[in-house]
Structure 1
Amino acid sequence: MNRTELKLTLRLIPFLDSVEDVEDGLVRVRDRRWLAWHPDVVTALFRTDRALRHPPSRTLSPLLGTRSVLWLDGREHAAYRRTLAPLLRPARHRAVVEEIVERAVGDLPETPVSLSSWTRGLTLRIIGRVVFGVDDDVLLTAFSRWLDRRLGSRVRTLAHRCLTPGATRSDPRLDALLLHRARTAEPPALAAFLPADDLRDQVVSLLFAGHETTASATAWTLHWTSRTPGLAERPDLLDAVIAESLRLSPPATLAGNRMSAAGMVITPSIYLAHRRAATYENPHVFDPGRPPPPPGAFLPFGGGVRLCPGRDLALLEIRLIVATLLRHRRVEVTSPIGPPRSRGAAMVPPPSLTVVATCRR
């Protein structure tokens, strides 16, 4: 591992900040691997995505499994996406999301809470209901603890990634509980349509991808809303606020690896594409009034054949959580914002970011 790759691995966000001003939007990480964020390169990658391979993440593939839809290619990948698409349609789950969000906001204490922890627990409960059809807080708590043991800090993530690389990091007891719950779900959202040998990897992938990034995006949106005077009183600007939060604080920093037939790997950087000064005026300023960006410059949910299949469901959750919370509560950030943290390849607010949500009288 060379110096550049070591920096990318050990200090992801500081490294991305250090190359932000590279004008051509390309940085060589190592021989035959590049990081790219120029909008023309990103657009070309997404346009030719079906012809490329998608090597798995060295951090996430031991957790999610080699049969996760995130790593499959070609017809197999397309078939899995067609199977999962009906499950993730937002219209199918709007009433469930509204019910869970209303309950969570009603139960929120009027004392300081960790914003990231609250949104993560809420979005995990939502995707748990989507996948299993019922609430199972015991199972979801076990799943959350399993993730935290591997991604909850930089040291844990590096140990998980670098020690005995390639080894599985699954928990057989947790897997058995997840599979039992998936097979007894009513209606059978997954078990009736997926091969038995692949069910575990798809369930874990859905639970992980279906809550981590949505929780982070929601927390960042609430952070920016609470820090911008008057914004909480403008529900007409909610979609613009969410979009600008996704630009400036994208929950995923990278958009997955693309490999050509010749073995060249290019990884689009969402974080750098969203902060490119040649694309965005004053890119570090939170401005919901920005004009629409050009193609290849705004990719919070990835793109190409890897465009997040849960994008519309995630946007529904963010809108409903933020709108419901601001309708019922006055949200005040009670701690200074520190530097964002890496959680795998995700960018999350620091745990020290706390808010107080007082009831509107």
Structure 2
Amino acid sequence: MNRTELRFALRLIPFLDSVEEFEDGLVKLGDRRWLVWHPDVMTALFRHDRDLRHPPSRTLSPLLGNRSVLWLDGAEHTAYRRTLAPMLRGARYQALIDEMVERSIAELPNHPVGLSEWTRKLTLRIMGRIVFGVDDDELLAAFTRWLDRRLGSRVRTLAHRYLGRGTTRFDPHLDEMLLHRAKTAEPPALAAHLPPEDLRDQVVSLLFAGHETTASATAWTVFWIDRTPGLADQILENDALLDATIAESLRLSPPATLAGNRMSADGMVITPSIYLAHRRAATYENPHVFDPTRQPPPPGAFFPFGGGVRHCPGKDLALLEIRMIVTALLRRRRIRLNTTTCTPQLRGAAMAPPPSLAMEATCRR
């Protein structure tokens, strides 16, 4: 591993910040790997995505499994997405999301709570109900502990990735609980349509991908609203402004810094950087300024949910959750955060507000 690869692996965000001004929008990470973010390159890459391979993440594949839909290719990948896509159609879950949001807001204590912890618990509850058809807070709490032991800090993530290479990080007891819930779900949406040997990997992938980035995006949106005087009241008077606020939050604080690896036929690995594409000065005026009034970006410059054949199938569901959670919070509580600055915490390649960011939510009168 050369010095550039080492910086990329060990100090990802500082490394990305250090190359942000490279106008050509690419950096060579190793002999056969490039980091890219120029919008023209991204447009071309996503257009030809079906012709590329998508190698597993060295951080996530030991957790999610090698049979996760996130790593499959070709006809197999297409078939799995067709199976899973109906589960992720946002509009069908509006009543469910409303119920879960109302319950979580009602449970907010009178003292400050960690914002990211609260949004993760809520979005995992929603995803758990979608996957299993029932509430099971004990199972979801066990799932959270399992993830946090591996991704809860940068040190844990790096130890998991480099000290345990070549091994899985499954928890047999947790897997048994997850599979039991999936097989007894009503309706058994996954168990009825997936091979038994793949069920575990798809359940874990849905739970992880279906809540982690949505939770981060929601927390970042609350952060930017709190940091922008008067914005909360303006959003309550103008629903369209909420959509613009969410989009600008996804631009400046994308919940995923990278958009997965692509590999060409000759073995060249290309890694798209969402973080850098969204902060490119040649694309966005004053890119570090939060501005919900920005004009729509050009193609290839904004892809918080990835792109090509790997774009997130749960995008519409995620956006619906963010809108409903933020709207309910603003209508029912006055939100105050304990800081106006926020150093991101990496969970794998995902970017969330740190645990120290706390939210005080008082009732509106």
Shorter-chain TM band: over 0.9
- The residue number in structure 2 matching 1:151 is 151
Is 1:345 the counterpart of 2:336? The answer is no
> Higher mean Cα deviation, 301-310 or 84-93?
84-93
Is 1:269 the counterpart of 2:269? The answer is no
- The residue number in structure 1 matching 2:219 is 219
Secondary structure of 1:272's aligned partner:
helix
List runs of 5+ in structure 1 lacking aligned partners.
none
Q: Deviations over 1:303-352 (max 9, x none)?
A: 00000010000000000000000000010112343311111000110111
The residue identity in structure 1 corresponding to 2:173 is: R
Is the CA contact (8 Å cut-off) linking 1:34 and 1:266 kept in structure 2?
Answer: yes
Q: Deviations over 1:55-91 (max 9, x none)?
A: 0100000000000000000000000000001001112
Q: Whole-Å Cα distance in 2 between the matches of residues 338 and 234 of structure 1?
A: 23
Q: Whole-Å Cα distance in 2 between the matches of residues 2 and 241 of structure 1?
A: 40
Shift of 1:262: 0.9
Is 1:305 the counterpart of 2:309? The answer is yes
Q: Whole-Å Cα distance in 1 between the matches of residues 44 and 33 of structure 2?
A: 17
Secondary structure of 1:324's aligned partner:
helix
Q: Whole-Å Cα distance in 1 between the matches of residues 339 and 33 of structure 2?
A: 39
Q: Whole-Å Cα distance in 1 between the matches of residues 69 and 200 of structure 2?
A: 11
Is 1:86 the counterpart of 2:86? The answer is yes
Is 1:101 the counterpart of 2:105? The answer is no
- The residue number in structure 1 matching 2:242 is 238
1:107-256 mapped onto 2 (5 Å cutoff): 107-235=107-235, 236=238, 237-256=241-260
Normalising by the residue count of structure 2, what TM-score does the alignment of the two structures yield? 0.98
Q: Whole-Å Cα distance in 2 between the matches of residues 75 and 287 of structure 1?
A: 41
Secondary structure of 1:210's aligned partner:
helix
Shift of 1:147: 0.2
Q: Whole-Å Cα distance in 2 between the matches of residues 360 and 315 of structure 1?
A: 25
The residue identity in structure 1 corresponding to 2:194 is: L
Q: CA RMSD in A?
A: 0.7
1:58-77 mapped onto 2 (5 Å cutoff): 58-77=58-77
Q: Deviations over 1:277-317 (max 9, x none)?
A: 00000000000000000000000000000000100000000
Shift of 1:51: 0.4
Q: Whole-Å Cα distance in 2 between the matches of residues 166 and 203 of structure 1?
A: 22
Secondary structure of 2:279's aligned partner:
coil
Q: Whole-Å Cα distance in 2 between the matches of residues 26 and 247 of structure 1?
A: 19
Q: Whole-Å Cα distance in 2 between the matches of residues 120 and 337 of structure 1?
A: 21
Indicate which of 319, 344, 356 corresponds to 1:315: 319
> Higher mean Cα deviation, 75-84 or 107-116?
107-116
- The residue number in structure 1 matching 2:5 is 5
Q: Deviations over 1:134-154 (max 9, x none)?
A: 000000000000000000011
Secondary structure of 1:356's aligned partner:
strand
Q: Whole-Å Cα distance in 2 between the matches of residues 113 and 332 of structure 1?
A: 11
Equivalent residues, number: 361
The residue identity in structure 2 corresponding to 1:126 is: I
Is the CA contact (8 Å cut-off) linking 1:335 and 1:352 kept in structure 2?
Answer: no
Q: Deviations over 1:122-177 (max 9, x none)?
A: 00000000000000000000000000000001111111000131210000010000
Q: Deviations over 1:229-248 (max 9, x none)?
A: 11101222100000000000
Is the CA contact (8 Å cut-off) linking 1:110 and 1:359 kept in structure 2?
Answer: no
Shift of 1:3: 0.7
Q: Whole-Å Cα distance in 2 between the matches of residues 169 and 53 of structure 1?
A: 24
Is the CA contact (8 Å cut-off) linking 2:227 and 2:340 kept in structure 1?
Answer: no
Is the CA contact (8 Å cut-off) linking 1:29 and 1:35 kept in structure 2?
Answer: yes
> Higher mean Cα deviation, 158-167 or 141-150?
158-167
Q: Whole-Å Cα distance in 1 between the matches of residues 339 and 49 of structure 2?
A: 43
Secondary structure of 2:334's aligned partner:
strand
- The residue number in structure 2 matching 1:31 is 31
Q: Whole-Å Cα distance in 2 between the matches of residues 342 and 106 of structure 1?
A: 29
The residue identity in structure 2 corresponding to 1:354 is: A
Secondary structure of 2:302's aligned partner:
coil
The residue identity in structure 1 corresponding to 2:142 is: A
Name the % identity: 77
Is the CA contact (8 Å cut-off) linking 1:275 and 1:283 kept in structure 2?
Answer: yes
The residue identity in structure 2 corresponding to 1:150 is: R
Normalising by the residue count of structure 1, what TM-score does the alignment of the two structures yield? 0.99
> Higher mean Cα deviation, 322-331 or 102-111?
102-111
The residue identity in structure 1 corresponding to 2:314 is: G
The residue identity in structure 1 corresponding to 2:243 is: D
- The residue number in structure 2 matching 1:294 is 298
Secondary structure of 1:189's aligned partner:
coil
> Higher mean Cα deviation, 335-344 or 95-104?
335-344
Q: Whole-Å Cα distance in 2 between the matches of residues 335 and 285 of structure 1?
A: 17
Secondary structure of 2:181's aligned partner:
helix
